[in-house]
Chains A and B, each alone.
Chain A
Amino acid sequence: MATTLPATVTAAQTGPRSAELLGQVARLADLEDSPVEQMRAEALGATTRGVVAYGEYQSGGWWTTSLLNHSGDPHDVVIGDGRPQPTSLLEDMPATARFLDSLGLDFMYVRLARLEPHSYLWEHRDYAELRDTGRHRLHIPLVTNPSAVLVTAGARVHMAAGSLWRLTPSQAHGVCNTTGPDRIHLVADVYADDAYQLLATRPHLRDGDATDLPEMTAAERAGLLAKAGQLAELGFTGAAEQTLLRAFYTYALPEGGAYDLIAELHAGRRADADVSRWRAAKAHLLARP
Chain B
Amino acid sequence: MPTTVLPPTELTPLEELAHAHRPAQLAVLGDLVHALSATTAVTHLLVRGSLATGTADRLSDVDLVVAVRDDRLPALMDSLDALMSTTFGTLLPGWRDTIVGNLGGAGFVYLLPHDGHLLQLDLYLCPTSAVGALRRRIGPRLLWQGPGADEPADADTQQRTARHLARAAQVPADCGHLLVQAMVLHAMLRKRLARGQQYIAYGLLHDLNATCRDVIRTALVPHSRHHGWYHLPDEVGRTSTGRQCLAELTQALTSPPVPTMAQADEALARIVRLAQRIAPHATDSLTNEITAYRAYQQHEEGLA
- Residues of A near any B CB (own CB < 8 A): 117-118, 145-147, 178-182, 227, 230-231, 233-236, 238-239, 242-243, 246
A250 to B41, CA, bound (A): 30
* 3 A-B pairs with the lowest CB-CB distances in the bound complex, closest first: A118-B89, A179-B292, A235-B39
> Pick the contact of B91 from A146, A179, A233, A246 — CB < 8 Å?
A179
A99 to B41, CA, bound (A): 56
**Is the CB–CB distance between A180 and B82 below 8 Å?**
no
Could you list some 30 contacts between A and B, CB below 8 A? A117-B91, A117-B113, A118-B88, A118-B89, A118-B113, A145-B295, A146-B287, A146-B288, A146-B291, A147-B288, A178-B288, A179-B91, A179-B288, A180-B91, A180-B292, A180-B296, A181-B292, A181-B296, A181-B299, A227-B79, A230-B78, A231-B83, A233-B75, A234-B75, A234-B79, A236-B83, A236-B87, A238-B87, A239-B86, A242-B86
Q: List, in ascending order, chain A residues with CB within 8 A of B83's CB.
A: 231, 236, 239
Closest residue of chain A to B287, judged by CB? A146
Closest residue of chain B to A237, judged by CB? B38
Q: List, in ascending order, chain B residues with CB within 8 A of A233's CB.
A: 75
Q: Which of B35, B75, B82 has the most CB of A within 10 A?
A: B82
A233 to B113, CA, bound (A): 28
A180 to B291, CA, bound (A): 9
Q: List, in ascending order, chain A residues with CB within 8 A of B78's CB.
A: 230
A147-B288, A234-B41 are known contacts. Are A179 and B79 too (CB-CB below 8 A)?
Answer: no
**Is the CB–CB distance between A239 and B87 below 8 Å?**
yes
Closest residue of chain A to B76, judged by CB? A234
Q: List, in ascending order, chain A residues with CB within 8 A of B82's CB.
A: 227, 231, 239, 243
Other than the given A181-B292, A235-B38, 6 more pairs (CB < 8 A) read A146-B291, A179-B113, A180-B296, A231-B79, A234-B79, A238-B87
How close is A288's CB to chain B, nearest CB, in angstroms?
A: 26
A233 to B79, CA, bound (A): 11
B97 contacts A by Cβ under 8 Å: no
Closest residue of chain A to B78, judged by CB? A230
How close is A123's CB to chain B, nearest CB, in angstroms?
A: 17
> Pick the contact of A235 from B40, B86, B288 — CB < 8 Å?
B40
A117 to B87, CA, bound (A): 12
Closest residue of chain B to A179, judged by CB? B292
A181 to B288, CA, bound (A): 11
Q: List, in ascending order, chain B residues with CB within 8 A of A181's CB.
A: 113, 116, 292, 295-296, 299
Q: List, in ascending order, chain A residues with CB within 8 A of B87's CB.
A: 236, 238-239, 242
Q: List, in ascending order, chain A residues with CB within 8 A of B113's CB.
A: 117-118, 179-181
Closest residue of chain A to B116, judged by CB? A181
A147 to B83, CA, bound (A): 20
Q: Which of A117, A179, A246 has the most CB of B within 10 A?
A: A179
A146 to B291, CA, bound (A): 8
How close is A220's CB to chain B, nearest CB, in angstroms?
A: 15
Q: List, in ascending order, chain A residues with CB within 8 A of B41's CB.
A: 234-235
A231 to B72, CA, bound (A): 12
A289 to B300, CA, bound (A): 48
